């Protein structure tokens, strides 16, 4: 069973926003056996929307349309869908009630006519009530194909996909058994890893597919199989995993598909009853915010400091000015003193620190742009390492953050 | 002149990665008059790639292909491009030298055969040298159309687009004069704003297009015009802006297109010679990292603390335990004490603090999930406000961060 996702909005094509919706839908659909055949992003333009709908109908069984449902004039999706289905808009009382309720509860703005127009839906559509916003989801069918139009606001779209679209699809269609096993590795590049496991990969049975999913510092190996014989598929994937693991022992982190290494780290710390604090200079709060993005961070994360200006390393973390003068602010000594300083300040079992130069210009140190010292403090030791993460600021911050997670992970 | 972007990779369709490349390309192209007609994301599948190339060639003058150039087996783009152009792969010595240099400089891994294969390019292609990675960009032409294949790694792709693709396109084609004016507003929703400026919008001349670009807490209004008569277009857009500004005085932030409010705030602080510190609880480092993502943050940003655990608000920021007991940790009093505490700790002109509950569960306070107190300290006062940002963790953190910027912005 195949789906196509059509995302509508000039703002996507002119690059004002990044389309994160498609990735979410692709991931959720994949879990239960719907492959996304294509993602197509197009402008708020009637003829182009009509053409995209037609092409998608030819290629896919399920067509998900996101965006273009807002109240302002540059959104024309709803009218175009009406034209495609040879339908007219009618006011839906339940949607109108939802719009009114949302305005009375969350908004200090008055309810305007443009907002009330959100209650207009094609007469042939089943409404998917949007509890997080005013634009409803709409489910339509044509020639055995399902068309679902959803608002483009990510958290509204997500709730509608999870709570309404997927349950309705599962009810309506029969899905084959699909199994994914994702293996998270850290600290080795894609091609070196591919070379290591080349023979194993060659010998995979044809109904199991392997994908390399690299991102900063890590590679996910994803085995996917689809079959009517659930038991055989499970056994075969397990067998392949058992063959693989001894070959990647030193870089294996876990089997988590969706979880980041910092989420896994956090859970491990919480399980062990251990606590963490962070002192950041060049990463500027990125390490702390990566941990605290995950629910439940308060179980292990006690706090952090960003000591961006050099003197704050002295004032807040108690790093000695003499040490900074002698070794420079980007040095092994300062990194380790920062880790120990923050560990003491927040009284934690573990601490991470970073000090470096993210660029684009040199700062309070002679260190080359991209040079970063990362230190880890545990209850009985402190150690550190130095890296050069290149000259692009965004990349230096990202790679330093990722490497800090990797260093702490190896320690726990 | 129209472009189509084709992004290739199973990892996009299964949602393992978000396609940020297309937004970048769309934005850069738009600036000098290339409209992106469509973005199409497809799998690493030969027949689908061939079909997408054919359709794109029919619709667009410039076809940008990203992704699918990595060294591992699931990348088949290069071979498929060869087939489309009826071409063969040949080894390019300059690319091989680049691959060898990158390995000797950045990698501790040995240079493998799969890496050397990156030097194979279609014989008809002009190589766009990738100084940040091993996969080269490739420029091909067919029937007057330009095809450019680029690696999918964002910073490699970005450098190639900026330094090589755009200059080469400008050299080869004549572009009409295009002008955008983006007006950043803060603190009013899309539909209320649209209602406010309805008459002005109705009266816009037909060659000027208006788009609403809403994101958390802010709406960008984007006027776009395309013309051969540069002077007339500039005058008309300026005239429209002059008519608009008095109507949006209270929410107008600036004319910056690409800059975030925190980048604008940072520049203003630096110009004024003022400094900032931040104390975060529920936002967990997000405010600090948003400021420090921007180059030059060290001119005004001195540091921050994340006091995630309640006791750290006492230990690190000097908030009194008595106050916390009396008012709870999510309260006006604690927010303001945190702001004053961090302002003193880092000795800054301004300070921001947040304390709240980002969910999904209640923390060390009885406050409802989504409740956030935000305080701003200046040299002579401290003030705060309370908000409820809903029940979704990601949204609470995002909206609280955005609102904090807005509150500080109004003060400076």
**CATH number of the domain within which B326 lies:** 3.90.950.20
Is B157 found in the same domain as B55?
A: yes
* pLDDT number for residue A124: 96
Beta carbon pairs, A and B, within 8 Å: 311
Range of the domain at A33: 2-172
Task: Assess contact for B366 and B326: CB atoms under 8 A.
Answer: no
Torsions phi, psi for A87 (to 5 deg): -130, 175
**Nearest chain B residue to A154, by CA:** B395
Q: Which of A64, A302, A214, A284 is nearest to B135 (CA)?
A: A214
Q: Which pLDDT tens digit goes with each residue over B95-108?
A: 999 999 888 876 66
Do B23 and B84 meet the contact criterion of CB atoms below 8 Å apart? Answer: no
A chain contacts of residue B363, beta-carbon cutoff 8 Å: 298
Tell me the average pLDDT across B187-202: 90
Give me the mean pLDDT over the A194-214 stretch: 90
Contact B109 A189 (CB under 8 A): yes
**What are the backbone dihedrals phi and psi of residue B49, each rounded to the nearest 5 degrees, phi first?**
-65, -45
Q: Which residue has the higher pLDDT, A384 or B76?
A: A384
Residues of A in contact with B387 (CB under 8 A): none
Express as a percent the part of chain B with pLDDT over 90. 65
Contacts of B357 in chain A (CB under 8 A): none
* Inter-residue contact A56 to A47 (CB < 8 Å): no
End-of-domain residue from the set A172, A196, A227:
A172
Mean pLDDT of B238-260: 89
Cα–Cα–Cα angle for A318, A388, A185, rounded to 5 degrees:
100
pLDDT digits (tens, 9 = 90+) for A281-336: 999 999 999 999 998 899 999 999 999 888 999 999 999 999 999 999 999 999 99
Residues B143 and B201 in one domain: no
Strands A120-122 and A89-91, bridge-based pairing: antiparallel
Q: Note the pLDDT of residue A327.
A: 94
Average pLDDT score over residue span B224-251? 91
Token couple for A111: 């309810």
Which residue among A24, A155, A303 sits closest to B392, beta carbon to beta carbon?
Answer: A155
Report CA torsion sign: B25, B27, B28, B33. positive
Is the per-residue pLDDT at A108 higher than 70?
no
Q: Is B306 helix (H, G, I), strand (E, B) or coil?
A: strand
Q: What pLDDT is stored for residue A347 in this prediction?
A: 95
Are B280 and B163 part of one and the same domain? no
Cα separation of the two ends of chain A = 43
Of A211-215, B87-91, B119-123, B183-187, the poorest mean pLDDT is in A211-215
Confidence band, pLDDT 50/70/90 cuts, at residue B178: confident
The answer on pLDDT for B93 being more than 60 is: yes
**Residue numbers in A near B289 (CB within 8 A):** 283-286, 288-289
Q: Distances in Å between the alpha carbon of A371 and those of A65, A190, B267?
A: 45, 23, 25
Q: Distance between CA atoms of A182 and A184, rounded to whole angstroms? A: 6
Confidence category of residue A151, pLDDT binned at 50, 70, 90: very high
**pLDDT surpassing 80 at residue A141:** yes
Cα B352 from Cα B342, distance rounded (Å)? 8
> Are residue A290 and residue A392 in the same domain, yes or no?
yes
CATH code for the domain in which residue A44 is found: 3.40.980.10
Please give the residue that has the higher pLDDT: either B359 or B248: B248
Looking at the complex, report in whole angstroms how far the Cα of residue B363 sits from the nearest Cα belonging to chain A.
Answer: 8
Helix (H) and strand (E) counts in chain A: 17, 17
Q: Please write the tens of the pLDDT for every residue from B289-344.
A: 999 999 899 999 999 999 988 899 999 999 999 999 999 999 999 999 999 999 99
Average pLDDT rounded to a whole number, residues B261-269: 92
Partner-chain residue, chosen from A11, A189, A306, that has the shortest CB–CB distance to B213? A11
Whether residues A153 and A10 fall in one domain:
yes
Write down the mean pLDDT value for chain B.
91
Name the domain boundary from A125, A152, A172: A172
Mean pLDDT of A255-272: 87
pLDDT band at A10 (very low <50, low <70, confident <90, very high): confident
Q: Give residue A106's pLDDT.
A: 67
As a whole number of angstroms, the distance between CA B333 and CA A38 comes to 53
d(CA B344, CA B342) in angstroms, rounded, equals 5
Number of folded domains that form chain B? 3
Give the C-alpha separation, A56 to B316, whole Å: 57
Parallel/antiparallel/unpaired status of strands A120-122 and A208-215: unpaired
Mean pLDDT of the region B67-73: 75
B24 contacts in A (CB within 8 Å)? 15
pLDDT of residue B107: 65
CATH number (domain holding residue B215): 3.30.70.2860
pLDDT above 70 covers a percentage of chain B that reads 97
Please check the confidence at residue B387 and state whether its pLDDT lies above 70. yes
Question: At A256, is the secondary structure helix, strand, or coil?
Answer: coil
pLDDT, residue A72, reads: 65
Q: Among A301-310, B6-15, B256-265, B266-275, where is mean pLDDT lowest? A: B256-265
DSSP A205: -
pLDDT in tens, A347-387: 999 999 999 988 887 767 778 889 999 999 999 999 999 99
Tokens read off for A150: 């959803």
- Of residues B366 and B38, the one with the higher pLDDT is B38
- For A237, residues 6+ apart whose C-beta sits below 8 A from its C-beta are A179, A181, A208, A223, A225
Name the residue among A24, A110, A288 with its Cβ closest to that of B285.
A288
My answer on whether B375 and B287 are in the same domain is yes
Q: What pLDDT, on the 0 to 100 scale, is given for residue B235? A: 94
A16 with A164, same domain: the answer is yes
pLDDT of A55 strictly over 80: yes
Residue A212, CB-side half-sphere exposure with 13 Å CA sphere: 23
CB B77 within 8 A of CB B110: no
**pLDDT reported for residue B229:** 84
Q: What is the mean pLDDT of chain A?
A: 91
Top residue of B162, B284, B295 to mutate, by most chain A CBs within 10 Å, is: B284
State residue B403's pLDDT score.
93
| pLDDT the model gives residue A390 | 84
Whether residue A302 and residue B309 make contact (CB cut-off 8 A), yes or no, is yes
Q: Are residues A236 and A279 in the same domain?
A: no
Q: Of the candidates A109, A155, A397, which has its C-beta nearest B189's C-beta?
A: A109
Q: Which of B191, B226, B256 is the last residue of a domain?
A: B256
Shared domain for B8 and B91, answered yes or no, is yes
- The most confident of the ranges A115-119, B175-179, B238-242 is B238-242
CB contact under 8 A, B286 and A291: no
* Residue of chain B minimizing CA distance to A180: B14
- Identify whether residues A230 and A336 lie together within a single domain: no
Q: Tell me: do A8 and A153 sit in the same domain.
A: yes
Two tokens, residue B185: 């507003």
pLDDT digits (tens, 9 = 90+) for A67-99: 988 776 556 899 999 999 999 999 999 999 999
Q: Which structure tokens are listed for A170? A: 């599962």
Q: Do A215 and B395 touch (CB under 8 A)?
A: no
Residue A408 structure tokens? 């702490």
B106 contacts on A by Cβ (under 8 Å) = 390
Question: B298 to chain A nearest CA, in Å?
Answer: 7
Does residue A100 share a domain with residue A156? yes
Strand B35-42 relative to strand B62-66, pairing = unpaired
């Amino acid at each position: 069973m195949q789906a196509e996702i059509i995302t509508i909005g000039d703002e996507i094509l002119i690059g004002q926003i990044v389309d994160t919706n498609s990735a979410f839908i692709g991931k959720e659909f994949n879990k239960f056996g719907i492959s996304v055949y294509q993602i197509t992003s197009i402008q708020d333009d009637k003829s182009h929307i009509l053409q995209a709908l037609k092409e998608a109908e030819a290629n896919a069984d399920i067509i998900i349309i996101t965006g273009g449902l807002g109240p302002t004039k540059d959104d024309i999706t709803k009218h175009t869908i009406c034209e495609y289905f040879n339908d007219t808009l009618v006011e839906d009382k339940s949607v109108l009630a939802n719009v009114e309720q949302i305005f009375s509860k969350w908004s200090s703005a008055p309810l305007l006519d443009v907002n009330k127009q959100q209650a207009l839906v094609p007469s042939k559509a089943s409404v998917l009530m949007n509890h997080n916003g005013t634009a409803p989801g709409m489910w339509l069918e044509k020639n055995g194909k399902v068309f679902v139009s959803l608002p483009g606001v990510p958290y509204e779209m997500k709730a509608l996909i999870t709570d309404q679209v997927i349950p309705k699809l599962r009810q309506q269609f029969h899905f084959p058994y699909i199994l994914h096993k994702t293996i998270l590795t850290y600290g080795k590049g894609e091609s070196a890893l591919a070379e290591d496991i080349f023979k194993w990969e060659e010998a995979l049975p044809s109904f199991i597919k392997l994908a390399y999913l690299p991102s900063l510092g890590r590679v996910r190996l994803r085995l996917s199989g689809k079959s009517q014989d659930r038991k055989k598929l499970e056994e075969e994937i397990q067998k392949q995993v058992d063959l693989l693991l001894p070959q990647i022992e030193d870089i294996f982190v876990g089997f988590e598909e969706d979880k980041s290494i910092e989420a896994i780290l956090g859970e491990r710390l919480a399980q062990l009853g251990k606590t963490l604090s962070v002192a950041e200079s060049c990463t500027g709060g990125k390490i702390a915010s990566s941990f605290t993005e995950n629910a439940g961070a308060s179980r292990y994360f006690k706090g952090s400091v960003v000591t961006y200006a050099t003197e704050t390393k002295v004032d807040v973390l108690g790093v000695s000015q003499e040490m900074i003068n002698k070794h420079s602010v980007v040095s092994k000594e300062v990194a380790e003193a920062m880790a120990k300083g923050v560990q003491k300040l927040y009284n934690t079992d573990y601490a991470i620190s970073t000090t470096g130069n993210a660029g684009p210009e040199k700062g309070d140190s002679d260190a080359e742009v991209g040079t970063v010292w990362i230190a880890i403090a545990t209850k009985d030791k402190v150690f550190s390492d130095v890296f050069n993460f290149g000259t692009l600021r965004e990349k230096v911050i990202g790679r330093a953050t990722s490497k800090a997670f990797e260093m702490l992970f190896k320690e726990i």
